[in-house]
Amino acid sequence: MVNRVEMENRIIPYKMLYEAVASTQGLVDGILPEHGIPSLKLGLGHIKSVMEDFIIKAGEGLPIIGHHFSFPTEYLYCFDCVPVCIEGTSYFLAALLPNGSEPYYDLITHWGHPFHTCTSQKGTMGMTLDDLFKFDAIITPTAPCDNTYASYPFFKYHKEIPLITPDLPFLKAEKSYRYHAQEIKLGLEKLGKIIGQEPNYNKLKEILELENQVTNLEMEIFELKKATPCPVENMFNVMAAAAQIYLAGREEKLEFYRQMLEIAKFRYKKKEHHAGEEKIRSIWPYMIVFFDLAMCEWLDRHLGMSILFDIFNYNFADPINTQSGLETMLYGMAKKAMEAPMTKQSAEFYYPFIENCVQLAKDFSADCFIFTSHIGCKQFGSVPQILREALRDEVGIPMLLIDLDVGDARFASEKIIREKIKLFAQTLL
């Protein structure tokens, strides 16, 4: 007989996150006017219901599979399991709890983990060190960065959690997709053996078809953002990133995007801005600040600054072909994984990134870029100056560079960051 509480206690931080989502949603519903920040209201509602479902499944004893976001959550749905995104947990707790994931960053840092590594892993590492997570297995590609593939062996060698590491090669070319497709397949097979299940590719096919529908909706919203004023509020970027992880492969995700597309179309027709007036159109080629998500709304309302998109919201892969057999489907999965935010940049030289940014700036009539230089991201450490020069020379717009840790306010606090943006905005107006 399964002891439900014991089983649920394998994912205590996930439950903490659920509580945080539920109470934030309660607050949002209670305080905000009916049409205030719809992405937040809708997104939290959907996330809450999916999380609830997974907590029930954990209680029933389904295996808990940790994964890096570079191994898309929906790929794990070929199993009956509870997927937990290592990075998502660290950062959404950082967003929703008063002290964020800081105690867990400290725990693992005191254990000897280098201070300059990425907090997106650090949080969950600290939680696992403290036995708050009990993963049955973890799967991560060898991407997108040194931080990642250097951090994950901790789970294997210290906590003795089976770790599966499909290799993700540098360089995006036909041979790379084929290689990674093979690695995904081998990885899923290995994972299946560990948890005593066969990968169910038919079920996966359905999930991928649903995700294809989402991609089409995403593209439509993306197109609408070209309009001035931008018909989508800044908070949408956050909720879209959360949906990518927490709603992956679920009807709720489709519903969320349908609802958001309707809202965007409505505002587009009326030339309406979520917070009144759009004064500055900014692109954040890297991440938003996870420990201060309220900043999104602050930018909309106080500075009239739209975040057209951040790194999690401008990378789109082609829909996956699910109709031509397993090999083709796996190929599409590999391609999609290699197009994912950060992974994409880790598998190519940075020229396409610079070219994309310049093109996006033009297509979306951006007034400026804000580059959050996150301490963990060494792969991006030599990009900002080159990007700044390209934007200046080819588009004639400035870029603000902020050194920070997107998951830890102690590196650069929200006050400092907001102040920098405010001063920068003044130079633009």
Partner 1 sequence: MSLENDPLLNISNSILNPYIEDWQKSNKKVIGYYCTYIPEELLHAAKLLPFRIRATGTKDTDLADIYMVRFTCSFVRATLDLALRGNYDFLDGFLVCNSCDHSRRMFELFNLKVFNRENFNKKVPQFYLAIPHVITDEGFEWYKKEVEELKEELEKAYQIKEITNEMLLESINIYNENRKLLRNIHNLRLQEKPKLTGSEFLQINIANSSISKDIANQELNRIINGLKNRKPIDVSNKKRILLVGSIVDDIYFTQLIENSGAFIASDFLCFGTRNFNDDVQLVNYDDPLENITKRLYYRLSCPRMMDDHLRRLDFLKEEINRAKVDGVLLQRINNCDLHGCDNMLFTHELKELDIPVLNIDREFYQSDTTRLQTRIEAFIEMI
Binding region for partner 1 (CB under 8 A): 111-114, 116-117, 142, 145-147, 149-154, 156-158, 163, 165, 167-171, 175, 179, 182-183, 186, 346, 349-351, 373, 375-376, 378-379, 381-386, 403
Among residues 313 and 372, whose Cβ is nearest to partner 1? 372
Query: Contact region for ligand SF4 (CB under 6 A) — 6-14, 347-355, 374-382, 397-405?
Result: 374-382
DSSP string, 366-421: -SEEEEEEETT-GGGTTSHHHHHHHIIIII---EEEEEE-TT-TTTS-HHHHHHHH
Among residues 229 and 376, whose Cβ is nearest to partner 1? 376
Residue from the set 65, 82, 107, 118 that interacts with ligand SF4 by CB under 6 A: 118
Query: Contact region for ligand SF4 (CB under 6 A) — 145-153, 238-246, 316-324, 388-396?
Result: 145-153
Q: Which does 349 bind (CB under 5 to 8 A by kind): partner 1, ligand SF4, none?
A: partner 1
Three-state DSSP state, 278: coil
Cα 118 → chain centroid: 14
DSSP state of 317: P
Nearest to 141 by CA among 170, 167, 171: 167
Among residues 266 and 349, whose Cβ is nearest to partner 1? 349
Cα 183 → chain centroid: 23
DSSP state of 136: S
Q: Which does 352 bind (CB under 5 to 8 A by kind): ligand SF4, partner 1, none?
A: none
Rounded CA gap, 265 and 354, in Å? Answer: 30
- 56-74 per-residue burial string, b: 16 or more CB within 10 A, e: under 16: ebbbeebbbbbbbbbbbbb
Contact call for residue 377 and ligand SF4 (CB under 6 A): yes
Q: Which does 61 bind (CB under 5 to 8 A by kind): ligand SF4, partner 1, none?
A: none
Among residues 181 and 241, whose Cβ is nearest to partner 1? 181
Minimum gap (Å) between residue 284 Cβ and partner 1: 17
Q: Residue 186 is encoded by which pair of tokens?
A: 């081998």
Q: Which of residues 147-166 bind ligand SF4 (CB under 6 A)?
A: 147-148
Long-range contacts (CB closer than 8 Å, 24 or more residues apart) made by 269-273: 271/227, 271/229, 272/229, 272/231, 273/229, 273/230, 273/231, 273/304, 273/306
Contact call for residue 340 and ligand SF4 (CB under 6 A): no
Among residues 101 and 151, whose Cβ is nearest to partner 1? 151
Rounded CA gap, 81 and 57, in Å? Answer: 8
Q: Which residues bind ligand SF4 (CB under 6 A)?
A: 118, 120, 144-145, 147-148, 342, 374, 376-377
